[in-house]
Amino acid sequence: MSIKGLIKGLHHVTATVDGAQEDYDFYVKLLGQRLVKETVNFDNEKVYHFYYGNEIAVPSTIFTTFPYRGQGVRKGVIGTGQVTETIYSAPKGSMLFWKNRLQRHGVDVIEEQRFGESYLFFNDPSGLVIGILEDETDTREPVWLSDGITKNNALPGVHHVTFAVENLSETLPFLEAFGYEQIQSDGLYTRMEAGVGGAGNTIVVQDGSELPRGINGLGTVHHVAHRVASIEDSLKIKAFIEDEFGINVTEVKDRKYFQSIYFRIPGNVIFEVATEGPGFMVDETNEELGTSLKLPDWQEVRREQIEKNLTGFNR
């Protein structure tokens, strides 16, 4: 049995972060992403769940955060068993614009060469490592334009994630069976692609044998989600990795905007497999996306209480 071709690429990346306001200001006002959904953590309704993406909230562009400040969650440690970097796609020739914009806002920027390409790396307000990489082949449009950002430099969304594992030889065979193909290696890094490849369909696996073991907490990525066309495909993947790898996979969970299963890969990173549909316009029009707090039906009945417990933030 094979599940080749079912995984089409990335769906979203989800991080545990500190304050809601700093998070919103960084991803919306500085990086120019669109807040495409304001909701709460379905497993902890005292905590927001922010979804940032492109104008039409296409899966693969999406980066999501749980701002856990005030909930007794400690700062995490970035290391093995985790996504260590989230890299955004940028139009060709826009790197200097981003470097200047970030520095003007007091963000320290490091330039690094990898796979023969230039990357910018910096930290978000919670300490997450974020990168920018020019990719002229990224065709995900339209992007979302905000203050001071034009079409020539707007970031279309997440390009890829890097995750670190202790032992590549146990993780790479799993990823190949799961649906990612090895494309290129550079020192500690192995680049892999699913589906049509390129922006939004790429992962980079880092040999993390020299890194500390990751500890979940503020300023760390919790999981990375990969996209499939349907729940039937998710169930085929669940059966395959349970049978072939002996990995426990959760039942299908209703995330309202998609349906998901979760599991830990060999190497400990939490993976989610999420359906492309029904999508973020199931409860808002494109124009309305992210403009007010949306709750699933089972929480809507307690809206007043839920709103009272949230910290609030200014747009």
Q: 14 or 171, CB closer to Zn ion?
A: 14
Measured distance CA(101)–CA(248) in Å, rounded: 44
Q: 27 or 98, CB closer to Zn ion?
A: 27
Measured distance CA(67)–CA(71) in Å, rounded: 9
In angstroms, what is the minimal distance from the CB of 42 to Zn ion?
A: 10
In angstroms, what is the minimal distance from the CB of 91 to Zn ion?
A: 27
Measured distance CA(191)–CA(2) in Å, rounded: 22
In angstroms, what is the minimal distance from the CB of 225 to Zn ion?
A: 4
Measured distance CA(175)–CA(193) in Å, rounded: 10
Residue 153 and residue 50 in contact, taking contact as beta carbons nearer than 8 Å: no
Query: What is the C-alpha end-to-end distance of the chain, expressed in Å?
Result: 49
Longest dimension (CA), the chain: 53
In angstroms, what is the minimal distance from the CB of 268 to Zn ion?
A: 17
Which residues of the shown chain bind Zn ion in the complex (CB under 5 A)? 14, 225, 272
Q: 65 or 171, CB closer to Zn ion?
A: 65
Among candidate residues 118, 116, 115, the one with its CA nearest the CA of residue 90: 118
Q: 180 or 271, CB closer to Zn ion?
A: 271
3-class DSSP state for residue 228? strand
Q: 134 or 272, CB closer to Zn ion?
A: 272
Q: 63 or 119, CB closer to Zn ion?
A: 63
Listed in order, strand segments (DSSP E) in the chain are 9-17, 34-41, 44-53, 62-67, 82-90, 110-114, 117-123, 129-134, 157-165, 181-186, 189-193, 202-207, 220-228, 253-254, 259-264, 270-275
Q: 85 or 135, CB closer to Zn ion?
A: 85
In angstroms, what is the minimal distance from the CB of 309 to Zn ion?
A: 22
In angstroms, what is the minimal distance from the CB of 227 to Zn ion?
A: 11
Within 10 angstroms of residue 104's Cβ, the number of other Cβ atoms is 10
Q: Which residues pair with 122 in a beta bridge?
A: 130
In angstroms, what is the minimal distance from the CB of 89 to Zn ion?
A: 20
